[in-house]
Structure 1
């Protein structure tokens, strides 16, 4: 299952894989953030929150729990009543300017770039390691590698998520104050307190990752065989990513709803009611991310070949 990816992985360094995944995260966040800004405006309109409340802010690649005191952030402002997605899109541009559609980009990039770099690099490295082990169960490789890489990236980044949320509560928090907060929390509750919310994130993201990578490798292999390609084209990666992301989003929707309820304390949502908005978000995000990542790997692979041929 993992053989198409391995064509590039064997010729890449870990740094090159990390650069390709970071570029993918940046490009994906840039395209998907306007959808999230509109979605959270509509959400805030129907579920206005008080001081100290939070709501889920998603880039499609990952979900962030965004909390704030007051209305200082652009996606919290409500310039009139929005009748729907198109109405919100038009009003936000007309009243606040087009830049407001990217108001959520900085907090997304702070978490998306390091998480994605760890996640995608680990996935490819694990696929390579598992492929070289004895046994003929290659169809299990994407499931195992996808699960372990997501488990690892979530575990590594979880304390950063806690710190980021704290910084959003207090905009002018100095590094000294931040260090004092973390050290006080550790002294009072222990080091494990820095991983608060880790369990609910893992329960949702690990099954999603396993399903996503298994289906992605299946679709990619099938489409490559259909067109006679040795490695995936941009279109093949894009289509496979969108399809596998949609399937994984639908199947893991109950886990996402449970995590959303726990983070936001908004219990009105229902599983079926929120499937369509999530798929609309996840499908393009997965498609853009995986296609740009595969393109980046292909670019570095060919660059390395040329360098080796002409030292």
Structure 2
């Protein structure tokens, strides 16, 4: 852009400086009053809350329905304790692939194909609103940080502002520094995790062997919540494992968002056309999801064991459960289900973020097409 948009405030005879260009880039992702005065027309097209919520809900529904069998297998593998006499010797002799195949065979033999979708109801109840609120929350939080130009969080570097052919930004999200990506991703994820912690507990119980031992108590989401509340310690039982969940989700979401934005900007440089931005979102989601999962997997093991434990006494602390796992099952137990979780989280992230970004871009394109004068439309 060589000059300010028509209708904007008058400028001096000097041309755009590097600072002015930065302000222009800031205006594209920030809806604060200062930038609205500079480009009032552009900021009529900010993504509204309902659009972020809707695209987030669709992406969450698609990923949880497609990937529920992998989540269930991961829970069953993590739930098993290796110190059970003959079962311990069997664990030591089996490879991870053999354990996975045996677990899948056991589910098929006992419950049929439907058994692989056990726990889908709480998964949907958690993921659909959870992903929707997360995408909305992280979008608004990033926009607020970018708008206020918070030191160290909202600093924008020139090499982070990349557009594909046609001037399409690499990301519809506000541009933040790496520290900003880490912090906003972590805060948004932990907040959503706290709101949906009771449903997460029910999901783990329904996917575990506890549901087979007492099917009546875990028949529905409501009956499961009531049973856990009345027999396992009230409200506290509905938040068991939240400490481990937060220790898993905060670094996961922060690392994921930082890697995702970096990877997407890097890949966007090689995009030959606007349409190729779709594959950059998918590829970035796969890469960031796999790496972030690898770094945070031990906390997922601890969380699952706390939520599905049946032996007494129950351990509620993250450190206490970590010590039990280490003493009973050894260090290798912290890698149980790692391959499955990496594959599932990578695929889930790719699906969710691709749908969210495509939906967001579609809304922005439609809004821009409706608002632009006929003579300016292409």
1:18 maps to 53
Deviation at 1:231, TM superposition (A): 8.8
Residues matched between the structures, number: 273
Give distance in 1, aligned partners of 2:349 and 2:128.
14
1:54 maps to none
State how 1:48-63 maps to structure 2 within 5 Å. Answer: none
Give distance in 2, aligned partners of 1:263 and 1:177.
13
Q: TM-score, normalised by structure 2?
A: 0.58
Give distance in 1, aligned partners of 2:146 and 2:258.
14
**Selected match of 1:121 from 130, 136, 139:** 136
Give distance in 2, aligned partners of 1:276 and 1:108.
20
Q: Tell me the SS of whatever aligns to 2:196.
A: helix
Query: Compared with structure 1, are the counterparts of its residues 120 and 175 closer, same or farther at alpha carbon in structure 2 (3 Å cutoff)?
Result: closer
**Selected match of 2:284 from 240, 246, 255:** 240
1:155 aligns with 2:218: no
| Farther-moved stretch of structure 1 (136-145 vs 34-43) | 34-43
Query: Compared with structure 1, are the counterparts of its residues 255 and 151 closer, same or farther at alpha carbon in structure 2 (3 Å cutoff)?
Result: same
State how 1:183-222 maps to structure 2 within 5 Å. Answer: 195-222=239-266
Give distance in 2, aligned partners of 1:180 and 1:277.
30
Structure index of larger Rg: 2
State how 1:82-101 maps to structure 2 within 5 Å. Answer: 98-101=113-116
Give distance in 1, aligned partners of 2:359 and 2:145.
23
Give distance in 2, aligned partners of 1:16 and 1:151.
22
**Structure having greater relative contact order (Cα 8 Å, sep ≥ 6):** 1
2:306 maps to 262
Query: Compared with structure 1, are the counterparts of its residues 231 and 214 closer, same or farther at alpha carbon in structure 2 (3 Å cutoff)?
Result: farther
Query: Compared with structure 1, are the counterparts of its residues 231 and 221 closer, same or farther at alpha carbon in structure 2 (3 Å cutoff)?
Result: farther
Give distance in 1, aligned partners of 2:107 and 2:201.
30
Q: Tell me the SS of whatever aligns to 1:271.
A: helix
Query: Compared with structure 1, are the counterparts of its residues 43 and 263 closer, same or farther at alpha carbon in structure 2 (3 Å cutoff)?
Result: closer
2:350 maps to 287
Q: TM-score, normalised by structure 1?
A: 0.69
Aligned alpha-carbon RMSD (Å)? 4.3
| Farther-moved stretch of structure 1 (169-178 vs 283-292) | 169-178
Q: Which runs of 5+ in 2 are unaligned?
A: 1-24, 31-41, 85-96, 157-175, 310-323
Q: Which runs of 5+ in 1 are unaligned?
A: 50-81
